[in-house]
Structure 1
């Protein structure tokens, strides 16, 4: 039975001014050693659960050891699979993941090919088609059941692209502050490689990452912003990160605006009302263009509600799943 008791306007799971006692987690040996410097106890806990699973793909002879957080429980409902945003990792879900599991949901957090903590020492192509096939083979080999696919920011574009190309794998979609109207990487795709690498080097820099945190979140403290910056750039410390990111950049990136009306799955749209990165006006546009969607906006919340308002996001996902289960049960009873 699914059960969850929070209110939609509840504060973040972690007070933005909280001081964390650093716990002595045992981290996987493949994580960058700088993981030890992270103070956020939720990030440390989730990082300790990351593992690598073998994924065989058609675009390289090498098996890709792919980073995920596997569910600790199995349920009768469809598994919930959490993607992340652009150039990020499964650690985005450090606050919401435990809430979903506590509610009885079978929950995966998956790193998109080219980002996160997968082993890419033998660098595969990291374009859209490769990311899609990698995720499909991971689903086919390890998840194996139609899923509720959750995509925040650029992860929403990944989710839409995947759902349209592999509808058999996706039961429902949840799109959070969705970045789905950008025309790929735009002019960045035409940059000379040396310029692209310079841009990627800047992307990894602490000042830029810190500035993005300021834009993404509402009123977090300086100490929290610094720690979240360290969480957000941890995957950038792998030696292959620059190559993988440049590969994606020059490939053209995601352009899914023409796919939106092809989405067959019922979709939940979640949006932070105070998003300074993607206007919530686009939430209304997306709601209008998706064939079967509902929308919920979260007040006093920025671009990443699953980090800033995890209780609200978990509650909305749980209610969405519960309502769909009721509809399915009613449909079965009529036959």
Structure 2
């Protein structure tokens, strides 16, 4: 997984790091609620969190990939310009505020024949990467009529780092679930994951079978549990290991290993894209937290993905052997199919984006998805749940929240 971390890039020094992001927190109840009962106070807390969840984070600025990162790739700049961060609900073990900020890029589906009932795609990046990993695949899928949401896993990419108590695998999956709850209204979705993102997609799909109606696993890590010896290291040694993961030499080596054609694709830009988010304040703490938590454990959950599943594998993957692991997926998945991507290494979504997009779009329009789509609504058509019940308190909580984060 550490090798796959650089699939989207790695870099020479970036001129300026990102400032720490204030914690997204619900405002305290107003004085008019001071004498309420415990049950009413609990309800207010839930209403306050519900009011904040789903709001754009006004403190967030997308990364300036050219000026801060020296990245010249147009697709990267275009993806970064679309990036937003939204408050999503999480359990209190993740953040005492009940919300965290999750960054993502949305590529709306083009209106093409057959697109109106296609499932939206929720796409999860690999180990210590970001949603910019889908900078090439996302727009190509959208042009084929697929609604694409590329999301950052909590602690990676451009998510909130300050005011978060856990960046464990469990916390990442809970935040992913919270994201789709507020952005996608828990509408039926096809979840996709690349490399270690496949482990997150598997765990999310196994825990949410009523929502996940399809899965796309791209050279996915599904049968390697945990993070290996790093989980057992004393924290000082874990921190030293994390510094190595950020280093240019390691990222460059991983960048070279990720592609079948490194001369064309393992560029300085690719290196910089994959490393840019590592320069944010709090990145190392978040990664140490994940490492010491033990990591994902997807192997026992692969067989629980009952939805139609597409396994994509680069024929020349030099990181995860497709001959071994793709076959395991077909053995374990109740309804899986395999497509090899030719002349391709570990990252089909970057090295063969056109072919990968077409294969995924065809899969989403296959007969297997008729039932999954039947009678469903697209995410942007769904009304917010219980809006009438919470609207008044939501407005009040929203005003208090924005005042609180604007205060010096």
Pair in the same fold by TM > 0.5: yes
Alignment of 1:78-93 (within 5 A): 78-93=119-134
User: CA offsets, 1:181-233, max 9 Å, x none?
Assistant: 11211221110101100010010111111100110012233895211010001
**Residues 1:61 and 2:96 aligned together:** yes
Q: Is the 8 A contact 1:32 1:238 kept in 2?
A: no
Size of the aligned set, in residue pairs, is 305
- Compare 224-233 and 65-74 and name the one that shifted more: 65-74
Rounded Cα–Cα distance in structure 1 between residues aligned with 2:196 and 2:374: 34
Once the two structures are TM-superposed, the CA of residue 73 in structure 1 deviates from its matched residue by 4.4
The 1:166/1:225 distance shift into structure 2, 3 A limit, reads: same
Rounded Cα–Cα distance in structure 1 between residues aligned with 2:372 and 2:171: 37
Could you say which residue in structure 2 is the equivalent of 1:127?
168
User: CA offsets, 1:86-119, max 9 Å, x none?
Assistant: 1100111111111011111111110011111012
Q: Is the 8 A contact 2:122 2:191 kept in 1?
A: yes
Q: Is the 8 A contact 1:271 1:296 kept in 2?
A: yes
Which of residues 156, 174, 179 is equivalent to 1:138? 179
Q: Is the 8 A contact 2:153 2:172 kept in 1?
A: yes
Could you say which residue in structure 1 is the equivalent of 2:400?
none
Q: Is the 8 A contact 1:210 1:225 kept in 2?
A: no
**Residues 1:153 and 2:195 aligned together:** yes
Task: Flag structure 1 segments of 5+ consecutive residues without an equivalent.
Answer: 1-27
Rounded Cα–Cα distance in structure 1 between residues aligned with 2:315 and 2:228: 27
User: What is the TM-score normalised by the length of structure 1?
Assistant: 0.86
**Residues 1:247 and 2:283 aligned together:** no
Q: Which runs of 4+ in 1 moved over 6 A?
A: 329-332
Rounded Cα–Cα distance in structure 2 between residues aligned with 1:86 and 1:319: 27
Rounded Cα–Cα distance in structure 1 between residues aligned with 2:190 and 2:251: 30
Q: Is the 8 A contact 2:104 2:150 kept in 1?
A: yes
Could you say which residue in structure 2 is the equivalent of 1:318?
361
Rounded Cα–Cα distance in structure 1 between residues aligned with 2:265 and 2:308: 40
Could you say which residue in structure 1 is the equivalent of 2:63?
31
Cα RMSD of the aligned pairs, angstroms, is 2.1
Could you say which residue in structure 2 is the equivalent of 1:174?
216
**Residues 1:72 and 2:108 aligned together:** yes
**Residues 1:305 and 2:348 aligned together:** yes
User: CA offsets, 1:290-320, max 9 Å, x none?
Assistant: 1110000111100000000001110110110
Q: Is the 8 A contact 2:259 2:266 kept in 1?
A: no
The 1:119/1:216 distance shift into structure 2, 3 A limit, reads: same
The 1:222/1:270 distance shift into structure 2, 3 A limit, reads: closer
Once the two structures are TM-superposed, the CA of residue 76 in structure 1 deviates from its matched residue by 3.2
Could you say which residue in structure 2 is the equivalent of 1:229?
271
Could you say which residue in structure 2 is the equivalent of 1:41?
74
SS in structure 2 opposite 1:97? helix
- Compare 205-214 and 114-123 and name the one that shifted more: 114-123
Rounded Cα–Cα distance in structure 1 between residues aligned with 2:174 and 2:373: 35
Once the two structures are TM-superposed, the CA of residue 71 in structure 1 deviates from its matched residue by 3.6
Once the two structures are TM-superposed, the CA of residue 72 in structure 1 deviates from its matched residue by 3.2
Which of residues 332, 339, 358 is equivalent to 1:289? 332
Which of residues 80, 101, 104 is equivalent to 2:145? 104
- Compare 255-264 and 203-212 and name the one that shifted more: 255-264
